[in-house]
Structure 1
Amino acid sequence: MQEKISSSPSVDPEIQQFVSDILASGGVDNAAHSLSLNERRALAEKLRERWTAGGPEVTRDDRSIETTEGTIGIRIIRPANLPEKCAGLVYLHGGGFTYFSLDTHDRLMREYAHRAGVVVIGIDYSLSPEFKYPTALNETVSVIDWLSENATELGIDKGRLAMAGDSAGANLCVSTCLKYREQIRPSPIKALILNYGFFELDKSTESHRLYGGAGELLTSEELQMYWDNYVGETAFTEEPLAFPMAARLNAMPPSYHVIPGYDPLADSNKRMVEKMILAGNDVEFSIYETATHSFLEAVSISKLADEALQLSSDWLSKKLYS
């Protein structure tokens, strides 16, 4: 079990620059009462344009594939000089199941592809509230099945397939593995990178109290909206495959957890780590006390984000290639 802790009492200045830029530009949450959902989504895309620019050069292959829920898009990202058959990493972006896209997280996907030496497959899953649980989960499982069937064509070793995601994307990573178990099918997923995951909605935690108030990058009010968008007022509000903190977490793939300290979800992520360890899983984690939710997106200016991406990428390479 690996833990990296920074002891500084305030947000890292480089990460604060990222946060201030997002909030000064209006912020999606601040605009919630004056813009339509589609307008807020367009704003969210624009706010991330600066932060997804630059980074590793790769080749991209955007495709549409059929899933059990209909046609969705995927993006296949391949860095230079990979072996003929290499490991694959399925990436699921965050955004509370409501916002963001392959474009907003293109930089993060390219960073993982380059640093870990893998082909990254990003999934453009359907967003809520138009498409509620379990649509995105079913789409993700379908993509994993499609990858297993088409691995040879893609130059991917289907025996070395991993998943990574941030926030809502981390939720979908865990839920995908649980879904395979529920279906009594062997999961092809060999490793998980879980960045500041949205695994439950418990607003009573200390991290929610300290870091979930108005004016933060991610608020408790926002998280409630995301919860309602994803599951609605249905029986799914306590469904383990929707919010996997409630699930039995035995027999999960090895996992690496990136936990920022200044995040309303920090306590929940620490609880997920503890629960996975108690269930007998191979778990490693890093706590970045001076980082906020979404801090990896600041990699263009942040040494802490660069370090976090490198550590998790090194862990992934070791799990897939050793």
Structure 2
Amino acid sequence: MPKVLELVQPTLEAAAVRGIFALPRSVRRLIAGAPIRLDGQELALDAQLLLKLQQLRGQDGLAAATPELARAGMRQATHLTSGDPVRGVVVADRQVPTAHGELAARLYRPRELTGSSPLLVYYHGGGWVIGDLDTHDDLCRFLAKHAGVRVLSVDYRLAPEHPFPAAFDDSLDAYRWAVDNADELGTSRDAVAVGGDSAGGNLAASVAIAATRSDDLTAPVFQLLVYPAVDATTRRRSRELFGNGFLLTDQDMTWFMDHYQPDESLRSDPRLSVLLTEDLSGLPAACVVTAGFDPLRDEGEAYAARLAEAGVSVVSRRFSDLIHGFANMRSVGDRFEEALFEIVGALRAGLSLQKV
């Protein structure tokens, strides 16, 4: 019987979460508490309610005693916030050969898309320590379906088993493989974009730079950077303001970086701290998304500003009422899905403009 309860409990908890979010707004406000206002912003009710439920479950961040426990925690959180799969998406597993062995990958295609299309090579978030193909399955399905593109999600090696620059090396190798196998993937060499969230946004940005500067590699046509981590050397104001109580904590950020690049003297490497890259000119057009209540907010916006200063076409969009990780919360709150639809619109527009 205990084993049965262990299997049933996650499903019951997920149903309870969806039930709470389906309550009338007045009841949800009562559960969430008084509106939270900080730095001239008001936190969305959906985000505040999710944080309240997290608090009631005794969770205050993403880190844990061990990487294995943190990974299990993210998988459980994904289950709690998951809903019905996005319909009309064909999914196929792939294996990506690299210099360090094969990487698991997953190719997503809208069912109605039968001809060639742009391909978004996507790197999941999770501080380079947690996260996998499954934790970002819903997001990749959503991007493929509503942007009308193929998406290749890459399961790069994680720290601390594989510290920096392993994740970067894998990400660049996966991008190279996607370009070299463009026809088989249903795209063309000059229609491959990169994207990612959080640590994945860091990897997408660093791949875009490396590929653009490479003599033997086609540069991406677009980069979608969702609340990216871009500077491991500086504490900015948003980390002080939002480093506690908004999902991603100050302690989490330290824990992730200590696992990924434990040597502080090497954290200025531009493959990690892409904001410190001297020359950003000539990079592909970018959409940089930030969340108002996110410790990473200010560094992401600083990177967008530097791209613009370098003459790169960039859209910088802050969702001032949301928190880090909102792209993975679509199924529970309307506000999260609204934001994702806007991001999809920017991706569609950015890829369309490259065809002109």
Normalized against structure 2, the TM-score is what? 0.82
Whether the 8 Å CA contact 1:60–1:78 is kept in 2: the answer is yes
Matching residue's letter, 2:282: A
1:97–1:116: structure 2 CA closer, same or farther, 3 Å change rule?
A: same
Question: Is it true that 1:317 corresponds to 2:332 in the alignment?
Answer: no
> Match for 1:197 among 228, 235, 238?
228
Q: How does 1:15-34 map onto structure 2 within 5 Å?
A: 15-27=47-59, 29=61, 32-33=64-65
Task: Give the % identical residues.
Answer: 28
1-structure distance, mates of 2:79, 2:172: 29
More strand by share: 1
Q: What's the counterpart of residue 232 of structure 1? A: 262
Q: What's the counterpart of residue 131 of structure 1? A: 162
Q: What's the counterpart of residue 82 of structure 2? A: 52
What secondary structure is seen at the aligned counterpart in 1 of 2:102? strand
Whether the 8 Å CA contact 1:76–1:121 is kept in 2: the answer is yes
2-structure distance, mates of 1:20, 1:90: 34
Question: Is it true that 1:184 corresponds to 2:210 in the alignment?
Answer: no
Larger CA deviation: 217-226 vs 19-28: 19-28
> Match for 2:252 among 203, 222, 229?
222
1-structure distance, mates of 2:120, 2:132: 17
Q: In the TM superposition, what is the alpha-carbon distance from 1:262 to its structure 2 partner?
A: 0.4
Q: How does 1:4-153 map onto structure 2 within 5 Å?
A: 9-27=41-59, 29=61, 32-33=64-65, 36-57=66-87, 58-153=89-184
1-structure distance, mates of 2:62, 2:323: 18
Q: In the TM superposition, what is the alpha-carbon distance from 1:31 to its structure 2 partner?
A: 6.6
Larger CA deviation: 20-29 vs 122-131: 20-29
Whether the 8 Å CA contact 1:52–1:105 is kept in 2: the answer is no
Aligned residues: 313
Q: In the TM superposition, what is the alpha-carbon distance from 1:229 to its structure 2 partner?
A: 1.3
1:271–1:200: structure 2 CA closer, same or farther, 3 Å change rule?
A: same
Q: In the TM superposition, what is the alpha-carbon distance from 1:225 to its structure 2 partner?
A: 1.6
Q: In the TM superposition, what is the alpha-carbon distance from 1:76 to its structure 2 partner?
A: 0.6
Normalized against structure 1, the TM-score is what? 0.90
Q: What's the counterpart of residue 3 of structure 1? A: none
Whether the 8 Å CA contact 1:208–1:263 is kept in 2: the answer is yes
1-structure distance, mates of 2:56, 2:155: 28
Larger radius of gyration: 2
What secondary structure is seen at the aligned counterpart in 1 of 2:159? coil
Matching residue's letter, 1:11: L
What secondary structure is seen at the aligned counterpart in 2 of 1:154? coil
What secondary structure is seen at the aligned counterpart in 2 of 1:128? coil
Q: In the TM superposition, what is the alpha-carbon distance from 1:187 to its structure 2 partner?
A: 3.2
Matching residue's letter, 2:128: F
What secondary structure is seen at the aligned counterpart in 2 of 1:159? helix
2-structure distance, mates of 1:169, 1:309: 16
Larger CA deviation: 72-81 vs 149-158: 149-158
Question: Which segments of structure 1 move beyond 6 Å, counting only runs of 4 or more?
Answer: none
CA deviations over 1:47-91 (Å, ceiling 9, x no partner): 111323324222211122211121110001111111411111111
1:149–1:81: structure 2 CA closer, same or farther, 3 Å change rule?
A: same
Highest relative contact order (Cα 8 Å, sep 6+), 1 or 2? 1
2-structure distance, mates of 1:154, 1:201: 34
1-structure distance, mates of 2:307, 2:154: 25
What secondary structure is seen at the aligned counterpart in 1 of 2:47? helix
Matching residue's letter, 1:149: D
Q: What's the counterpart of residue 169 of structure 1? A: 200
2-structure distance, mates of 1:234, 1:145: 30
Whether the 8 Å CA contact 2:288–2:304 is kept in 1: the answer is yes
Q: What's the counterpart of residue 13 of structure 2? A: none
Matching residue's letter, 1:221: Q
Structure 1 spans left out of the alignment, 5+ residues: 1-6
Matching residue's letter, 2:174: V
Q: In the TM superposition, what is the alpha-carbon distance from 1:19 to its structure 2 partner?
A: 2.7
1:30–1:74: structure 2 CA closer, same or farther, 3 Å change rule?
A: closer
Whether the 8 Å CA contact 1:262–1:291 is kept in 2: the answer is yes
CA deviations over 1:227-275 (Å, ceiling 9, x no partner): 1211121653110011201113221111011111101111111111111
1-structure distance, mates of 2:63, 2:240: 23
CA deviations over 1:88-126 (Å, ceiling 9, x no partner): 111111110011111111111011001110111000011
2-structure distance, mates of 1:225, 1:55: 32
